[in-house]
Amino acid sequence: MGVSGSGKSTTGSKLAGEFGVEFIDGDDLHPAANREKMAAGVPLDDEDRAPWLDTIARRIADELAAGHPIVVACSALKRTYRDRIAALAPTTVFVHLDGGSDLIAERQRGRVHEYMPTSLLASQFDVLEPLEPDEHGFRVDVRRTPAEIVDEVRRRLASPVEHG
């Protein structure tokens, strides 16, 4: 989880590669209307995101039911969004790629995205709700390299007491 440009695709795909599991990018599961809205510079609202979150939650639940752990990139900006995912896939561990707006804006500007304009980053920080103590997950600092972040995530996933 994390705002656009926080490194979900980069670190998520690397983590999945190291685990030897599938990586799913939530970007690819947005309905066309959501993509068009973002491309037009308009932030998504709760109603836009609800069916997308359900698609992601169902996909996680289906994969887990088939015995396939997966890594998913999904902004999951609000507590209610994460609860929606956890309701269908309760063993989901949320890893918040957390960082300041200046650094993330700089990284976002340095990449090309199919539909996401950099102008929407501020709206994402506005709605971002960090993990709360009773959520299943932890934060990592995006000032570190992708390799360091992946190592940290692996270490913490191997220590259940640290991410309860």
Ligand X SMILES: O=C(O)[C@H](O)[C@@H](O)[C@H](O)[C@H](O)COP(=O)(O)O
Interface contacts to ligand X, rule CB under 6 A? 4-5, 8-9, 27, 30, 38, 44, 49, 75, 113, 116, 124
Full DSSP string of 99-140: --HHHHHHHHHTS--SS--GGGHHHHHHH--PPPTTSSEEEE
Interactions with ligand ADP, residue window 79-108 (CB under 6 A): 107-108
Q: Which does 49 bind (CB under 5 to 8 A by kind): ligand ADP, ligand X, none?
A: ligand X
Question: Which of 1, 5, 57, 138 touches ligand ADP by CB under 6 A?
Answer: 5
* C-alpha closest to that of 128 among 151, 157, 94: 94
Helix (H, G, I), strand (E, B) or coil at 164: coil
- Closest among 57, 56, 53, 60 to 81, alpha carbons compared: 53
Least spacing, CB of residue 11 vs ligand X, in Å: 12
Q: Which structure tokens are listed for 116?
A: 């996401």
Q: Answer yes or no whether residue 7 interacts with ligand ADP by CB under 6 A.
A: yes
Residues between 46 and 75 with contacts to ligand ADP, criterion CB under 6 A: 73
Q: Is 137 in the site for ligand ADP (CB under 6 A)?
A: no
What residue type is assigned to position 135 of the chain? E
- Positions touching ligand ADP (CB under 6 A) are 2, 4-11, 73, 107-108, 110-111, 142, 144-146, 149
